[in-house]
Structure 1
Protein backbone atom coordinates (compact mmCIF):
# COMPACT_ATOMS: atom_id res chain seq x y z
CA UNK A 1 0.00 0.00 0.00
CA UNK A 2 1.19 3.48 -0.85
CA UNK A 3 0.72 4.67 2.75
CA UNK A 4 3.34 2.16 3.83
CA UNK A 5 5.93 3.48 1.38
CA UNK A 6 9.09 4.88 2.86
CA UNK A 7 9.84 8.57 2.38
CA UNK A 8 13.44 9.42 1.55
CA UNK A 9 15.26 12.71 1.13
CA UNK A 10 17.84 12.66 -1.69
CA UNK A 11 20.53 15.31 -1.28
CA UNK A 12 22.22 16.54 -4.45
CA UNK A 13 25.80 16.90 -3.22
CA UNK A 14 26.70 19.57 -5.77
CA UNK A 15 25.79 23.21 -6.33
CA UNK A 16 26.42 22.88 -10.05
CA UNK A 17 23.56 23.69 -12.42
CA UNK A 18 24.46 20.63 -14.49
CA UNK A 19 25.33 17.67 -12.29
CA UNK A 20 25.37 13.97 -13.11
CA UNK A 21 24.77 13.34 -9.40
CA UNK A 22 21.46 15.17 -9.77
CA UNK A 23 20.76 13.02 -12.84
CA UNK A 24 21.51 9.88 -10.82
CA UNK A 25 19.10 10.86 -8.04
CA UNK A 26 16.38 11.79 -10.53
CA UNK A 27 16.85 8.38 -12.15
CA UNK A 28 16.51 6.69 -8.75
CA UNK A 29 13.42 8.78 -8.02
CA UNK A 30 11.75 7.52 -11.18
CA UNK A 31 12.99 3.95 -11.10
CA UNK A 32 12.01 3.27 -7.48
CA UNK A 33 8.80 5.30 -7.38
CA UNK A 34 6.75 2.16 -6.71
CA UNK A 35 8.99 1.28 -3.75
CA UNK A 36 9.56 4.63 -2.03
CA UNK A 37 8.79 8.33 -2.24
CA UNK A 38 12.06 10.14 -2.98
CA UNK A 39 12.25 13.94 -2.72
CA UNK A 40 15.27 15.69 -4.19
CA UNK A 41 16.84 18.41 -2.05
CA UNK A 42 19.26 21.00 -3.42
CA UNK A 43 22.12 22.57 -1.51
CA UNK A 44 22.51 25.40 -4.02
CA UNK A 45 22.11 28.77 -2.37
CA UNK A 46 23.37 27.77 1.06
CA UNK A 47 26.15 30.11 2.24
CA UNK A 48 29.50 28.71 3.27
CA UNK A 49 29.42 27.58 6.89
CA UNK A 50 30.49 30.16 9.44
CA UNK A 51 30.18 30.14 13.20
CA UNK A 52 28.47 33.08 14.88
CA UNK A 53 27.96 34.25 18.45
CA UNK A 54 24.19 33.73 18.18
CA UNK A 55 24.66 30.32 16.46
CA UNK A 56 22.73 31.52 13.40
CA UNK A 57 21.60 28.80 10.98
CA UNK A 58 20.25 29.80 7.53
CA UNK A 59 16.56 29.20 6.83
CA UNK A 60 17.43 26.86 3.95
CA UNK A 61 19.49 24.64 6.28
CA UNK A 62 16.66 24.58 8.83
CA UNK A 63 14.22 23.53 6.10
CA UNK A 64 16.54 20.74 4.94
CA UNK A 65 16.95 19.59 8.55
CA UNK A 66 13.17 19.41 8.99
CA UNK A 67 12.83 17.34 5.81
CA UNK A 68 15.52 14.94 7.04
CA UNK A 69 13.92 14.58 10.46
CA UNK A 70 10.54 13.81 8.88
CA UNK A 71 12.00 11.24 6.47
CA UNK A 72 12.63 7.53 6.89
CA UNK A 73 16.12 7.85 5.44
CA UNK A 74 18.51 9.92 3.37
CA UNK A 75 20.28 9.27 0.07
CA UNK A 76 23.32 11.42 -0.71
CA UNK A 77 24.96 11.60 -4.14
CA UNK A 78 28.40 13.15 -4.04
CA UNK A 79 30.84 14.16 -6.77
CA UNK A 80 34.57 13.95 -6.15
CA UNK A 81 36.91 16.92 -6.33
CA UNK A 82 40.59 16.44 -5.47
CA UNK A 83 39.85 13.09 -3.74
CA UNK A 84 37.22 14.69 -1.50
CA UNK A 85 33.60 15.80 -1.34
CA UNK A 86 32.74 19.26 -2.68
CA UNK A 87 33.15 22.26 -0.39
CA UNK A 88 29.43 23.00 -0.80
CA UNK A 89 28.45 19.56 0.55
CA UNK A 90 30.93 19.79 3.41
CA UNK A 91 29.55 23.21 4.33
CA UNK A 92 25.97 21.89 4.19
CA UNK A 93 26.79 19.06 6.58
CA UNK A 94 28.44 21.58 8.90
CA UNK A 95 25.22 23.65 8.97
CA UNK A 96 23.25 20.45 9.61
CA UNK A 97 25.28 19.76 12.74
CA UNK A 98 25.41 23.29 14.14
CA UNK A 99 22.81 23.51 16.86
CA UNK A 100 20.59 21.13 14.87
CA UNK A 101 21.16 17.39 14.55
CA UNK A 102 18.73 15.80 12.07
CA UNK A 103 21.14 13.04 11.04
CA UNK A 104 21.40 11.36 14.45
CA UNK A 105 20.52 7.66 13.94
CA UNK A 106 19.09 8.45 10.49
CA UNK A 107 19.72 5.71 7.88
CA UNK A 108 21.86 6.99 5.01
CA UNK A 109 22.68 5.51 1.62
CA UNK A 110 25.71 6.97 -0.15
CA UNK A 111 25.98 7.11 -3.92
CA UNK A 112 28.12 9.11 -6.28
CA UNK A 113 28.93 9.89 -9.89
CA UNK A 114 32.07 11.30 -11.41
CA UNK A 115 33.47 11.96 -14.87
CA UNK A 116 36.46 9.68 -14.24
CA UNK A 117 36.70 5.92 -13.86
CA UNK A 118 36.68 5.73 -10.04
CA UNK A 119 33.13 7.00 -9.55
CA UNK A 120 33.76 9.23 -6.48
CA UNK A 121 35.16 6.34 -4.41
CA UNK A 122 37.46 8.50 -2.29
CA UNK A 123 34.77 11.14 -1.76
CA UNK A 124 32.32 8.47 -0.63
CA UNK A 125 34.86 7.13 1.85
CA UNK A 126 35.39 10.62 3.24
CA UNK A 127 31.64 11.22 3.41
CA UNK A 128 31.26 8.09 5.52
CA UNK A 129 33.78 9.45 8.02
CA UNK A 130 32.01 12.80 8.19
CA UNK A 131 28.57 11.26 8.68
CA UNK A 132 30.00 9.10 11.47
CA UNK A 133 31.31 12.15 13.36
CA UNK A 134 29.98 12.92 16.87
CA UNK A 135 27.99 15.93 15.63
CA UNK A 136 26.19 14.03 12.85
CA UNK A 137 26.12 10.40 14.05
CA UNK A 138 24.17 8.99 11.10
CA UNK A 139 23.55 5.29 10.46
CA UNK A 140 25.41 4.65 7.19
CA UNK A 141 24.47 1.53 5.25
CA UNK A 142 27.60 -0.69 5.23
CA UNK A 143 29.29 -2.15 2.14
CA UNK A 144 26.98 -0.26 -0.18
CA UNK A 145 29.07 1.90 -2.48
CA UNK A 146 27.48 2.72 -5.82
CA UNK A 147 30.27 4.21 -7.89
CA UNK A 148 29.09 5.61 -11.22
CA UNK A 149 32.16 6.34 -13.32
CA UNK A 150 32.31 8.10 -16.69
CA UNK A 151 29.01 9.66 -15.70
CA UNK A 152 28.76 11.96 -18.71
CA UNK A 153 28.27 8.86 -20.88
CA UNK A 154 26.24 6.87 -18.31
CA UNK A 155 22.73 8.11 -19.18
CA UNK A 156 20.65 7.94 -22.34
CA UNK A 157 18.52 10.79 -23.72
CA UNK A 158 15.72 9.85 -21.33
CA UNK A 159 17.98 10.06 -18.27
CA UNK A 160 18.18 6.30 -17.74
CA UNK A 161 21.33 4.32 -16.99
CA UNK A 162 22.57 2.51 -20.08
CA UNK A 163 24.74 -0.10 -18.37
CA UNK A 164 22.69 -3.16 -17.40
CA UNK A 165 25.17 -4.33 -14.75
CA UNK A 166 25.16 -0.93 -13.03
CA UNK A 167 21.37 -0.84 -13.15
CA UNK A 168 21.16 -4.29 -11.58
CA UNK A 169 23.64 -3.31 -8.87
CA UNK A 170 21.70 -0.16 -8.02
CA UNK A 171 18.45 -2.12 -7.88
CA UNK A 172 20.01 -4.52 -5.40
CA UNK A 173 21.53 -1.79 -3.26
CA UNK A 174 18.23 0.05 -3.07
CA UNK A 175 16.46 -3.11 -1.91
CA UNK A 176 19.20 -3.51 0.70
CA UNK A 177 18.65 0.09 1.79
CA UNK A 178 14.92 -0.51 2.27
CA UNK A 179 15.78 -3.47 4.48
CA UNK A 180 18.48 -1.47 6.27
CA UNK A 181 15.92 1.22 7.08
CA UNK A 182 13.56 -1.40 8.52
CA UNK A 183 16.35 -2.80 10.69
CA UNK A 184 17.46 0.68 11.75
CA UNK A 185 13.99 1.45 13.08
CA UNK A 186 14.54 -1.30 15.63
CA UNK A 187 17.95 0.06 16.67
CA UNK A 188 16.61 3.12 18.46
CA UNK A 189 17.11 2.24 22.11
CA UNK A 190 19.95 4.73 22.52
CA UNK A 191 18.49 7.44 20.28
CA UNK A 192 17.69 9.88 23.08
CA UNK A 193 21.18 9.73 24.57
CA UNK A 194 22.78 9.82 21.11
CA UNK A 195 20.84 13.00 20.33
CA UNK A 196 21.82 14.50 23.67
CA UNK A 197 25.50 13.73 23.12
CA UNK A 198 25.42 15.26 19.65
CA UNK A 199 23.84 18.42 21.05
CA UNK A 200 26.39 18.65 23.85
CA UNK A 201 29.45 17.84 21.75
CA UNK A 202 31.84 20.63 20.91
CA UNK A 203 35.38 20.64 19.53
CA UNK A 204 35.84 24.03 21.25
CA UNK A 205 35.49 22.62 24.76
CA UNK A 206 38.50 21.35 26.59
Structure 2
Protein backbone atom coordinates (compact mmCIF):
# COMPACT_ATOMS: atom_id res chain seq x y z
CA UNK A 1 0.00 0.00 0.00
CA UNK A 2 1.52 3.29 -1.13
CA UNK A 3 1.49 6.28 1.25
CA UNK A 4 0.72 9.49 -0.63
CA UNK A 5 -0.17 13.12 -0.03
CA UNK A 6 -2.93 14.91 -1.92
CA UNK A 7 -2.10 18.63 -1.80
CA UNK A 8 -5.11 20.90 -2.35
CA UNK A 9 -3.70 23.66 -4.56
CA UNK A 10 -6.04 26.43 -3.43
CA UNK A 11 -7.28 28.20 -0.30
CA UNK A 12 -10.91 28.09 -1.47
CA UNK A 13 -13.40 26.48 0.89
CA UNK A 14 -15.47 25.21 -2.04
CA UNK A 15 -12.94 23.78 -4.45
CA UNK A 16 -13.56 21.16 -7.11
CA UNK A 17 -9.83 20.38 -6.88
CA UNK A 18 -10.42 19.30 -3.30
CA UNK A 19 -13.36 17.22 -4.56
CA UNK A 20 -11.11 15.60 -7.15
CA UNK A 21 -8.53 14.61 -4.53
CA UNK A 22 -11.27 13.32 -2.24
CA UNK A 23 -12.60 11.21 -5.10
CA UNK A 24 -9.11 9.86 -5.77
CA UNK A 25 -8.62 9.06 -2.09
CA UNK A 26 -11.75 6.91 -2.07
CA UNK A 27 -11.43 5.51 -5.58
CA UNK A 28 -7.82 4.34 -5.18
CA UNK A 29 -8.00 3.26 -1.53
CA UNK A 30 -7.15 -0.32 -2.48
CA UNK A 31 -3.84 0.82 -3.97
CA UNK A 32 -2.78 3.86 -1.97
CA UNK A 33 -3.50 5.67 1.26
CA UNK A 34 -3.91 9.30 0.22
CA UNK A 35 -3.91 11.95 2.94
CA UNK A 36 -5.53 15.23 1.91
CA UNK A 37 -3.39 18.20 2.95
CA UNK A 38 -4.61 21.81 2.98
CA UNK A 39 -2.58 24.95 2.36
CA UNK A 40 -5.19 27.58 3.24
CA UNK A 41 -3.79 28.30 6.73
CA UNK A 42 -0.25 28.98 5.51
CA UNK A 43 0.74 32.64 6.16
CA UNK A 44 1.99 34.91 3.41
CA UNK A 45 5.63 34.25 2.55
CA UNK A 46 7.88 37.05 3.78
CA UNK A 47 11.43 35.62 3.71
CA UNK A 48 11.96 36.04 7.48
CA UNK A 49 15.36 37.30 8.59
CA UNK A 50 15.69 34.52 11.18
CA UNK A 51 14.91 31.92 8.49
CA UNK A 52 12.26 30.38 10.72
CA UNK A 53 9.60 28.41 8.86
CA UNK A 54 6.03 28.50 10.28
CA UNK A 55 5.01 25.37 12.18
CA UNK A 56 2.20 24.56 9.73
CA UNK A 57 4.71 24.56 6.87
CA UNK A 58 7.08 22.33 8.83
CA UNK A 59 4.22 19.89 9.47
CA UNK A 60 3.32 19.77 5.78
CA UNK A 61 6.98 19.31 4.86
CA UNK A 62 7.28 16.34 7.20
CA UNK A 63 4.19 14.73 5.65
CA UNK A 64 5.62 15.21 2.16
CA UNK A 65 9.00 13.78 3.18
CA UNK A 66 7.33 10.74 4.74
CA UNK A 67 5.16 10.08 1.70
CA UNK A 68 6.11 8.00 -1.33
CA UNK A 69 4.50 10.42 -3.74
CA UNK A 70 2.57 13.69 -3.91
CA UNK A 71 -0.50 14.55 -5.97
CA UNK A 72 -1.09 18.27 -6.47
CA UNK A 73 -4.44 19.39 -7.82
CA UNK A 74 -4.54 22.97 -9.02
CA UNK A 75 -7.13 25.32 -10.47
CA UNK A 76 -6.16 27.96 -13.00
CA UNK A 77 -6.33 31.69 -12.28
CA UNK A 78 -5.19 34.11 -15.01
CA UNK A 79 -3.38 31.34 -16.90
CA UNK A 80 -1.36 30.21 -13.88
CA UNK A 81 -1.61 28.57 -10.46
CA UNK A 82 -3.31 30.36 -7.54
CA UNK A 83 -1.28 32.73 -5.39
CA UNK A 84 -1.97 30.46 -2.40
CA UNK A 85 -0.27 27.49 -4.07
CA UNK A 86 2.68 29.59 -5.17
CA UNK A 87 2.93 30.89 -1.61
CA UNK A 88 2.95 27.34 -0.21
CA UNK A 89 5.72 26.30 -2.60
CA UNK A 90 7.74 29.39 -1.66
CA UNK A 91 7.64 28.30 1.99
CA UNK A 92 8.26 24.63 1.12
CA UNK A 93 11.51 25.56 -0.60
CA UNK A 94 12.78 28.05 2.00
CA UNK A 95 15.69 26.27 3.72
CA UNK A 96 13.67 23.04 3.68
CA UNK A 97 13.57 20.59 0.77
CA UNK A 98 10.67 18.12 1.11
CA UNK A 99 10.06 17.99 -2.65
CA UNK A 100 13.66 17.10 -3.50
CA UNK A 101 13.52 13.98 -5.74
CA UNK A 102 9.91 13.41 -4.64
CA UNK A 103 7.61 11.85 -7.28
CA UNK A 104 4.77 14.26 -8.10
CA UNK A 105 1.59 13.80 -10.12
CA UNK A 106 -0.25 16.93 -11.24
CA UNK A 107 -3.99 17.10 -11.73
CA UNK A 108 -6.35 20.01 -12.14
CA UNK A 109 -10.01 20.93 -12.18
CA UNK A 110 -11.45 24.03 -13.77
CA UNK A 111 -14.89 25.54 -14.25
CA UNK A 112 -14.06 26.22 -17.89
CA UNK A 113 -13.17 24.14 -20.93
CA UNK A 114 -9.37 23.93 -20.69
CA UNK A 115 -9.18 22.25 -17.28
CA UNK A 116 -6.15 24.12 -15.83
CA UNK A 117 -3.80 23.20 -18.68
CA UNK A 118 -1.74 26.40 -18.50
CA UNK A 119 -1.57 26.27 -14.71
CA UNK A 120 -0.30 22.70 -14.84
CA UNK A 121 2.43 23.69 -17.28
CA UNK A 122 3.49 26.54 -15.00
CA UNK A 123 3.44 24.27 -11.95
CA UNK A 124 5.77 21.85 -13.72
CA UNK A 125 8.23 24.67 -14.27
CA UNK A 126 8.09 25.67 -10.62
CA UNK A 127 8.56 22.12 -9.34
CA UNK A 128 11.61 21.78 -11.57
CA UNK A 129 13.27 24.85 -10.04
CA UNK A 130 16.62 24.47 -8.19
CA UNK A 131 15.04 24.91 -4.75
CA UNK A 132 12.28 22.31 -5.28
CA UNK A 133 13.71 19.73 -7.71
CA UNK A 134 10.72 17.40 -7.63
CA UNK A 135 10.41 14.49 -10.02
CA UNK A 136 7.27 15.25 -12.02
CA UNK A 137 5.60 12.38 -13.84
CA UNK A 138 6.23 13.11 -17.54
CA UNK A 139 3.72 13.18 -20.40
CA UNK A 140 0.71 13.17 -18.11
CA UNK A 141 -2.12 15.63 -17.64
CA UNK A 142 -5.46 15.08 -16.01
CA UNK A 143 -7.57 18.07 -17.00
CA UNK A 144 -11.05 18.07 -15.50
CA UNK A 145 -13.05 20.71 -17.33
CA UNK A 146 -16.51 22.02 -16.39
CA UNK A 147 -15.77 20.73 -12.91
CA UNK A 148 -18.89 22.21 -11.28
CA UNK A 149 -20.93 19.66 -13.22
CA UNK A 150 -18.37 16.82 -13.03
CA UNK A 151 -19.36 15.21 -9.71
CA UNK A 152 -22.57 13.55 -8.55
CA UNK A 153 -24.13 14.08 -5.11
CA UNK A 154 -21.91 11.39 -3.57
CA UNK A 155 -18.74 13.09 -4.85
CA UNK A 156 -18.03 10.57 -7.61
CA UNK A 157 -16.96 11.62 -11.08
CA UNK A 158 -19.83 11.18 -13.51
CA UNK A 159 -17.90 10.71 -16.75
CA UNK A 160 -16.70 7.13 -17.12
CA UNK A 161 -14.21 8.17 -19.80
CA UNK A 162 -12.60 10.57 -17.32
CA UNK A 163 -12.53 7.87 -14.66
CA UNK A 164 -10.80 5.45 -17.03
CA UNK A 165 -8.20 8.07 -17.94
CA UNK A 166 -7.56 8.82 -14.28
CA UNK A 167 -7.27 5.08 -13.59
CA UNK A 168 -4.56 4.78 -16.24
CA UNK A 169 -2.65 7.85 -15.07
CA UNK A 170 -2.71 6.76 -11.45
CA UNK A 171 -1.56 3.27 -12.35
CA UNK A 172 1.33 4.87 -14.23
CA UNK A 173 2.09 7.08 -11.22
CA UNK A 174 2.37 4.07 -8.93
CA UNK A 175 4.89 2.58 -11.36
CA UNK A 176 6.65 5.96 -11.61
CA UNK A 177 6.99 6.08 -7.80
CA UNK A 178 8.64 2.65 -7.81
CA UNK A 179 11.02 3.61 -10.62
CA UNK A 180 12.02 6.82 -8.82
CA UNK A 181 13.03 4.77 -5.78
CA UNK A 182 15.76 3.27 -7.95
CA UNK A 183 17.05 6.68 -9.06
CA UNK A 184 18.18 8.09 -5.73
CA UNK A 185 21.92 7.79 -6.19
CA UNK A 186 22.36 11.55 -6.64
CA UNK A 187 19.98 12.51 -3.84
CA UNK A 188 22.62 13.73 -1.40
CA UNK A 189 24.39 15.70 -4.13
CA UNK A 190 21.06 17.20 -5.19
CA UNK A 191 20.31 18.15 -1.60
CA UNK A 192 23.68 19.81 -1.15
CA UNK A 193 23.21 21.70 -4.40
CA UNK A 194 19.76 22.91 -3.33
CA UNK A 195 21.04 23.98 0.09
CA UNK A 196 23.89 25.96 -1.45
CA UNK A 197 21.92 27.48 -4.31
CA UNK A 198 21.43 31.25 -4.30
CA UNK A 199 20.00 33.47 -7.03
CA UNK A 200 22.15 36.28 -5.64
CA UNK A 201 25.41 34.57 -6.52
CA UNK A 202 24.54 33.44 -10.04
TM score, norm. by length of structure 2: 0.99
Matched, 1:111 2:86: no
In the alignment, the residues of structure 2 paired with residue 63 and residue 187 of structure 1 have an alpha-carbon distance, to the nearest angstrom, of 26
Alignment of 1:7-22 (within 5 A): 7-22=3-18
Q: Give the secondary-structure state (helix, strand or coil) at the position aligned to 1:81.
A: coil
**1:116-143: per-residue Cα shift (whole Å, max 9, x none)?**
0000000000000000000000000001
In the alignment, the residues of structure 2 paired with residue 205 and residue 151 of structure 1 have an alpha-carbon distance, to the nearest angstrom, of 44
Displacement over 3 Å in runs of 4+: none
1:59 to 51, 55, 58: 55
2:23 to 23, 27, 32: 27
In the alignment, the residues of structure 2 paired with residue 7 and residue 171 of structure 1 have an alpha-carbon distance, to the nearest angstrom, of 17
Alignment of 1:1-206 (within 5 A): 5-206=1-202
In the alignment, the residues of structure 2 paired with residue 22 and residue 79 of structure 1 have an alpha-carbon distance, to the nearest angstrom, of 10
Query: Aligned-pair distance for 1:56?
Result: 1.9
Q: How many pairs does the alignment contain?
A: 202
**1:163-184: per-residue Cα shift (whole Å, max 9, x none)?**
1110000000000000000000
Q: Give the secondary-structure state (helix, strand or coil) at the position aligned to 1:169.
A: helix
Query: Aligned-pair distance for 1:83?
Result: 0.1
5+ unaligned residues in a row in structure 2: which ranges? Answer: none
In the alignment, the residues of structure 1 paired with residue 44 and residue 140 of structure 2 have an alpha-carbon distance, to the nearest angstrom, of 29
Q: Give the secondary-structure state (helix, strand or coil) at the position aligned to 1:204.
A: helix
Query: More deviation in 45-54 or 151-160?
Result: 45-54
TM score, norm. by length of structure 1: 0.97
**1:79-127: per-residue Cα shift (whole Å, max 9, x none)?**
0000000000000000000010000000000000000000000000000
In the alignment, the residues of structure 1 paired with residue 75 and residue 102 of structure 2 have an alpha-carbon distance, to the nearest angstrom, of 22
CA RMSD of aligned residues (A): 0.6
In the alignment, the residues of structure 2 paired with residue 202 and residue 29 of structure 1 have an alpha-carbon distance, to the nearest angstrom, of 37
5+ unaligned residues in a row in structure 1: which ranges? Answer: none
In the alignment, the residues of structure 1 paired with residue 187 and residue 35 of structure 2 have an alpha-carbon distance, to the nearest angstrom, of 25
In the alignment, the residues of structure 2 paired with residue 131 and residue 123 of structure 1 have an alpha-carbon distance, to the nearest angstrom, of 12
